[in-house]
Each structure stands twice: as structure tokens, then as C-alpha cells.
């Protein structure tokens, strides 16, 4: 499946509600953010705490344009937690951290506006 970051792209095909429920999107708090110089595109290595059930998971995120490493710990973000792990350079990314493109296509993280418990599922 081809994913585009073009805001003018056509909407995706209609899916059933069960298909939406199959994608497990949870909120977590970034507990560690490190440089990731080995990544092909500029990215950070994140460690995200999804609470007692899911625990801490690693993610590679191409968010270097809008976020400084020191500002990320403590920030809550949304991520898909039920995709298979994916090898990105020397690290295994366990979750897909979610964001939206700004006008130039740079990633802006998808996050709650009010603190919520880690591990909460998007509905």
C-alpha cells in the first residue's frame, strides 16, 4: 500500500468499523529521546511508555524539523502498537509514532491536548 503525505490526495477507500478497530492506536509518554544518526532520513530514537499492560516500546520518528531532543521527554504521543516490529538501521522499531504533515510535509506529532493515562486506546 502506498502512503502519501500530499494533503490534496484523495480520501482512502471506505472501510468497515471492524477494520478501524483492528488498528490499535494507544497513547504513551516519551521517556527517552536520542539522536539516530544511522537513519537514512533525519530521525530520533524514542522510548515510549504505554503503561503497565504494554510497557515501554521503541520507535524511530522523523520529527527532527519541529522537535528538539530535550523537549520530547514527558510529551504524550499516539502510536500504532500492533504492527509487526520493523528494522530501521541498527534498531528495531516496535511502534509507529503518529503525526500529520505540515504545509511543507514535515511531521507534526499527533498528541492529546490534555494529559491522559498511558496506554489509553483511541476510539
CATH classification of the domain holding 54: 2.40.50.140
**Domain for residue 95, yes or no?**
yes
Longest dimension (CA), the chain: 40
**Domain for residue 26, yes or no?**
no
Residue 1 confidence (pLDDT): 38
**Domain for residue 57, yes or no?**
yes
**Domain for residue 119, yes or no?**
no
Half-sphere exposure of 13 (CA within 13 A, CB side): 5
**Domain for residue 32, yes or no?**
no
Cα Rg of the chain, angstroms: 15
Output the pTM of the full model: 0.89
Range(s) of the domain holding residue 44: 37-109
What are the pLDDT digits (tens) for 36-66? Answer: 999 899 999 999 999 999 999 999 999 999 9
**Domain for residue 12, yes or no?**
no
Amino acid at each position: 500500500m502506498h502512503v502519501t503525505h500530499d494533503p490534496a490526495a484523495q480520501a482512502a477507500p471506505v472501510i468497515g468499523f471492524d477494520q478501524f478497530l483492528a488498528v490499535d492506536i494507544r497513547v504513551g509518554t516519551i521517556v527517552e529521546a536520542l539522536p539516530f544518526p544511522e537513519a537514512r532520513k533525519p530521525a530520533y530514537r524514542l522510548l515510549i511508555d504505554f503503561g503497565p499492560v504494554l510497557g515501554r516500546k521503541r520507535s524511530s520518528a522523523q520529527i527532527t524539523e519541529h522537535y528538539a531532543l530535550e523537549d520530547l521527554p514527558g510529551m504524550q504521543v499516539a502510536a500504532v502498537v500492533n504492527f509487526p516490529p520493523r528494522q530501521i538501521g541498527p534498531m528495531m522499531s516496535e511502534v509507529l509514532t503518529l503525526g500529520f504533515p505540515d504545509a511543507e510535509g514535515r511531521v507534526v506529532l499527533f498528541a492529546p491536548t490534555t494529559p491522559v493515562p498511558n496506554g489509553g486506546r483511541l476510539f
